[in-house]
C-alpha cells in the first residue's frame, strides 16, 4: 500500500469544518464525495462506469459513484426538487449522489451520518465513513494525492433493480464481490489508488458496524498484498 501519510483514511469528527479549512488553505485542491453502496447482506459493492470514462473510450472502467463537491457538479445530477440541497456539505452531497444513482428512497439523518459510533443503522440510511486523498485526473494527466475524497456508505434493503436506469452520471451498474474487486486493477478497470480507497472504506464500515464480513476479509487481504508488494 502507498506509504504516504496522505493515504491515511481518517474519520474526522467535524468533516465539514475540515472541508472549510482545507478550502481556505488549499483552494486549488478539489473535494469529492464517493459512495460505498453495499448489498443487503453486505457481501457485494455497487460499481458503475462513469459517463466521463465512456467519453474517453474507457468503457471498461468500474468504480464507486463519485461527485465533486461543487455547485455545478451537484446541480448537474440533481433531480427535480433536490436543488435546495446544494449546500456542498458532505452529507448533502452524498444524499444528492445517492438519489442520482439509486432507485431507492435513501435517507440521511445528521445524528446518524456523523455519529462516532453507529449501531446497525436502518437500511437505505447514509453514514460517513472517513476521508483520504486520491488522485486527480485532468485529461490524460494523473496527479497523485491531488484530491480530497470523503466517503459515505449506504446498505440497501433490496439489491434487485437497485440502480436507476436513467442516471445522468453512469452506465452499466453492477454488483461486485470481494474476490472480483481484487482483480479489477489488473485489467485497468480501477486504478490502484482507487482500489486502496475502496478497501479502506469497506474496512471502515466493518469497524463502525462491528461486522467483519467476507467482504471485509477480502478488503483486508487486498490491502495486505499491496503492503507486501
Q: What is the reported pLDDT for 38?
A: 96
> Cβ-count burial of 92 within 10 angstroms (0-12 exposed, 13-18 middle, 19+ buried)?
buried
Per-residue pLDDT of 33-71, as tens digits, reads 999 999 999 999 999 998 777 677 677 789 999 999 987
Q: What is the reported pLDDT for 85?
A: 52
Segment 205-216 shows an average pLDDT of 89
Per-residue pLDDT of 97-128, as tens digits, reads 998 899 988 988 887 888 766 666 678 999 99
Give the side-chain half-sphere CA count within 13 A for 218: 18
Q: What is the reported pLDDT for 1?
A: 44
Segment 198-213 shows an average pLDDT of 92
Per-residue pLDDT of 68-105, as tens digits, reads 998 778 777 776 555 555 557 899 899 989 988 999 88
Largest Cα separation within the chain, whole Å, is: 49
Indicate the average pLDDT of the chain. 86
Of the candidates 51, 42, 39, the residue with the CA atom closest to the CA atom of residue 218: 42
Q: Give the Cα separation of 202 and 209 in Å (integer).
A: 11
Question: Is a pLDDT exceeding 60 seen at residue 171?
Answer: yes
Cell of 73: 457538479
Q: Tell me how far the alpha carbon of residue 151 is from its chain's centroid.
A: 5
**CA-to-CA dists, residue 227 to 116, 161, 186, 210, 224, angstroms:** 28, 37, 16, 24, 5
For domain 9-228, which architecture applies? Alpha-Beta Complex (3.90)
Segment 156-178 shows an average pLDDT of 88
What does the DSSP assignment read for the chain? Answer: ---SGGG--B--TTHHHHHHHHHHH-TTS-EEEEEEEE-TTS-EEEEEEEHHHHHTT-TT--B--EEESSHHHHHHHPPTT-GGG-S--HHHHHHHHHHHHBSS--B--HHHHT-SS--SPPTTB-EEEEEEEEEEEETTEEEEEEEEEEEEEEE-S--TT-B-TT-SSEEEEEEEEHHHHTTGGGGTSS-HHHHHHHHHHHHHHHHHHT---HHHHHHHHHHHHHHH-
Segment 177-206 shows an average pLDDT of 89
Amino acid at each position: 500500500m502507498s506509504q504516504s501519510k496522505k493515504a491515511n483514511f481518517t474519520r474526522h469528527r467535524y468533516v465539514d469544518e475540515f472541508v472549510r479549512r482545507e478550502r481556505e488553505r488549499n483552494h486549488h485542491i478539489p473535494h469529492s464525495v464517493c459512495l460505498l453502496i453495499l448489498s443487503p447482506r453486505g457481501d457485494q459493492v455497487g460499481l458503475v462506469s462513469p459517463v466521463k470514462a465512456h467519453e474517453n473510450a474507457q468503457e471498461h472502467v468500474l468504480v464507486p459513484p463519485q461527485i465533486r463537491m461543487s455547485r455545478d457538479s451537484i446541480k448537474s445530477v440533481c433531480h427535480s426538487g433536490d436543488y435546495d440541497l446544494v449546500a456542498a456539505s458532505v452529507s448533502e452531497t452524498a444524499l444528492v449522489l445517492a438519489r442520482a444513482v439509486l432507485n431507492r428512497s435513501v435517507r440521511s439523518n445528521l445524528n446518524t451520518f456523523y455519529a462516532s459510533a453507529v449501531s446497525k443503522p436502518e437500511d437505505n440510511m447514509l453514514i460517513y465513513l472517513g476521508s483520504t486523498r486520491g488522485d486527480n485526473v485532468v485529461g490524460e494527466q494523473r496527479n497523485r494525492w491531488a484530491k480530497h475524497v470523503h466517503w459515505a456508505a449506504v446498505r440497501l434493503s433490496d439489491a434487485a433493480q437497485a440502480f436507476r436506469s436513467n442516471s445522468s452520471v453512469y452506465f452499466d451498474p453492477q454488483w461486485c464481490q470481494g474476490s472480483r474487486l481484487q482483480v479489477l486493477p489488473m485489467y485497468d478497470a480501477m486504478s490502484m489508488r482507487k482500489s486502496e480507497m475502496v478497501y479502506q472504506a469497506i474496512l471502515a464500515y466493518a469497524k463502525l458496524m462491528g461486522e467483519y464480513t467476507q467482504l471485509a476479509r477480502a478488503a483486508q487481504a487486498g490491502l495486505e498484498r499491496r503492503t507486501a508488494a
